[in-house]
Homo-oligomer: A and B are copies of this chain.
């Protein structure tokens, strides 16, 4: 599923054009990006929670040279699946 698929789902359920649907998707993702970049957590019950969290990790490895590389602390976004997505049966 990619952006277009989501937009299609939207325009099928609402009386809007695909262009508008795409606008909406972009709008939402942009707002969410802003929030996450602003270190704000996003919680949508039933779906999941996006939580920006500091990462200190340690060191990785440069595949080319094989040498170790220090991984700066930085920050990562953790997505914790909500109840509706938990307990998924293994197919």
Is A59 part of the contact surface with B, judged by Cβ < 8 Å? no
In the complex, which residues of chain B have a beta carbon less than 8 angstroms from the beta carbon of A25?
A: 28, 44
Contact B77 A90 (CB under 8 A): no
Q: Are A10 and B28 in contact (CB under 8 A)?
A: yes
Asked whether, in the complex, the Cβ of B9 is within 8 Å of the Cβ of A27, the reply is yes
Partner of A33, one of B35, B50, B84, B91: B84
Chain A contacts to B: CB under 8 angstroms: 1-3, 5-6, 9-10, 13-14, 20, 23-25, 27-29, 31-33, 35-37, 39-48, 50, 52, 54, 73-79, 81, 84-85, 87-91
- List the 6 closest pairs (A to B, CB-CB), nearest first: A79-B79, A75-B88, A9-B31, A1-B35, A29-B47, A77-B81
